[in-house]
Amino acid sequence: MITTYPESRRDDQVDVYQNAAGEAVQVPDPYRWLEDPDSPETRAWVSEQNRMTAAFLDTLPARGAYRDRLTALWNYPRESAPWKRGESYFRQFNPGLLNQPVLEVSASATGPWRTLLDPNALSSDGTVALSSASVSRDGRVLAYGTQSGGSDWITWQVRDVASGEDLPDRLEWSKFSGASWLPDGSGFYYAAYDAPQDGGALTGTNRHQRLMLHKLGAAQAEDMVVIERPDEPDWGFRAEVTHDGHFLVVHVWKGTDPRNLLWVRPLHSDEPFTELVSDFHASYRLVGNDGPLLYVQTTADAPRGRILTWHVGTGEQREIIPEGPDALQEDFTALVPGGLLTVALHDASHRLTLHARTGEAHRELPLPGLGTIVNLNALPDDPEVFLAFTSFLSPATPYRLILPDGQLESLSDTAPVFDASDFEVSQEFAVSRDGTRVPMFIVARRGLKREGGNPTLLYGYGGFGISLTPAFNPSRLAWLERGGVYVQANLRGGGEYGEDWHQAGTLGEKQNVFDDFIACAEHLISTGVTSPAHLGIQGGSNGGLLVGACMTQRPDLFAAVVPQVGVLDMLRYHLFTIGWAWASDYGRSDDPDMLGTLLAYSPLHNLRAASYPATLITTGDHDDRVVPAHSFKFGAQLQRCQTGAAPALLRIQTRAGHGAGKPTRLVIEEAADIWAFLEHHLKPQPTSS
């Protein structure tokens, strides 16, 4: 039992908001000083919190056993699905315990492979990650983006594929951007912001994105501004050059709202863009083109998605694949020779179908099981298609598919890292407060006894149209092997059943997400899988908001909570970095009509003196997406409000950000700490290690 926490100074800061009735609402914010991550006081506070947490974790007998087992479980070859450019094939590969995967190139999809770029050589501690890799059409030049210390900021460089040598090009202050090459490989489009001023790289607001064209060999200062809209500071731009090189297509986005604009013009033209979609009423994504005929996937009049053709010259639209009962996955539809490949979600797992270009379904392609397609790499003029497939009990495995008649052919001979036959996956449905059926996957040892005593982790997200599908994670295996149960919930706010499912968990309907998660917890208890004394919950980012809200609303329902890099201060989230972009899901506190909703569930503002579950809050001190102030302020307030014996701890990783690109070494260390913490509180009886 922890009786004394590090001192967290409280100020008399009070903010005044206006509610829907026009009344002034005063809201104290005593830990405002923790919003400055680099102040000496904040750094000293972080150091003291980490010292206390480390001392507690050091007492957990399972910690060393988890670290050893996780190291063994992670030590297996991991390879992405290849992709082809020119006559070369590319893939990412990690032989086991490298901090970062290596980018490789080969003349064949089956190797032998040559290292093209090793991110592990870019830093001594493995904290520089390869965030994006785009190869020119002829396969000769690579544009690659790196991110340092977990930051979202991207630095672009260019490498000659044949020699492996970098060219002089170096582009900075890019964010939320890929690279789209000109057909001749002479340059590429990317998106950038102004350089942050006055140390605002970690917390300053990201607005006024510009679409740029970089020509190889030129200084960044010479890059051409293709689009900038100072009158629309929240707009962002993603450029795509059609495979035939005829058109430049721009997707205009606004925050995390899935609705976008779609603009097009001839590639080498300075004429104004034709605004095919000129208002934010639905999502539109270019799939490919046959000359002036574009193939577009949209949610317009079809929340689960449909595909149409759109003639650039005449404006004529024709639906070729209507909306079906399952949600089409926006990032996976691909134009292939003579046809279209689509991926749809059926009760949160993937289905792959080959269609004619006129839309008729030719055949469903059998997948290896109940799981998820991770990558789908296809070209409209090449019958060789690559994808990777994963499930809860099988690692992501690359496959090749030769169209039109071939079947999936595994490209990997990696031996299993554990015996999957000991475990099983089932899907069950909870009933939420309003009667909605909410699916969840349960992963456990075969013959699970439903007597209420199983240590169980319930994981969720529930936001931004993101779907949680079956996927392999070696970390969870150690939990399963030691008798734990893993449950993954598919909540409203996600995209499992299309855009209506997403919208049902946003803005004024956000409480539905928490109700769904609580219903899943109650289902696990009522069916004997577990009981409140053995049930823990975990979520990251928007999922951190989820578990923070649920622990404040139902502290009696859980024994342990792990909010990771969570959005926990719903009144001020929009004031930092890209936070403003989340308003399409959350709303904002400066909107009187949303203030009451946000105050009703904001985890920070709903902590009261109570007996809360054991809580391990994790964040990175350089998270410039969900700034660490969320976790800092929530942790300080939780420590003040905790009346029970359970600990309220913060684990703050240095040289780390939101999670992407985290070195393997740090991933294993964090996972071992989390599992040991959960086992200690969910399985209190002694266990052999």
**Residue with tokens 């789908």, as numbered in its chain:** 376
What residue ranges in 175-314 does DSSP mark as E strands? 180-181, 187-192, 210-215, 224-227, 235-241, 247-254, 257-266, 274-277, 284-290, 293-298, 306-311
Measured between alpha carbons, how far is 99 from 447 in angstroms, rounded to an integer? 37
Q: Is 584 a catalytic residue?
A: no
Check: CB of residue 551 under 8 Å from CB of residue 536: no
Q: Is 349 a catalytic residue?
A: no
Phi, psi of 601 (to 5 degrees): -125, -5
Alpha carbon distances (Å) from 242 to 211, 528, 573: 17, 54, 37
Instruction: Point out the catalytic residue in the list 569, 623, 624, 673.
Output: 623
CB atoms within 10 A of CB 142: 25
Contact partners, residue 638, CB within 8 Å, separation at least 6: 607, 612, 615, 617, 648
Three-class DSSP labels, 602-620: CCHHHCCCECCCEEEEEEE
Measured between alpha carbons, how far is 1 from 56 in angstroms, rounded to an integer? 9
Instruction: Point out the catalytic residue in the list 80, 148, 475, 541.
Output: 541
Measured between alpha carbons, how far is 627 from 634 in angstroms, rounded to an integer? 12
Q: Is 381 a catalytic residue?
A: no
Q: Which amino acid is at 246?
A: H
DSSP state for residue 367 in the 8-state scheme: P
Torsion over CA: 633, 636, 640, 643 (sign) = positive
Read off the tokens for 330: 């926006």
Q: What are the catalytic residues?
A: 541, 623, 658
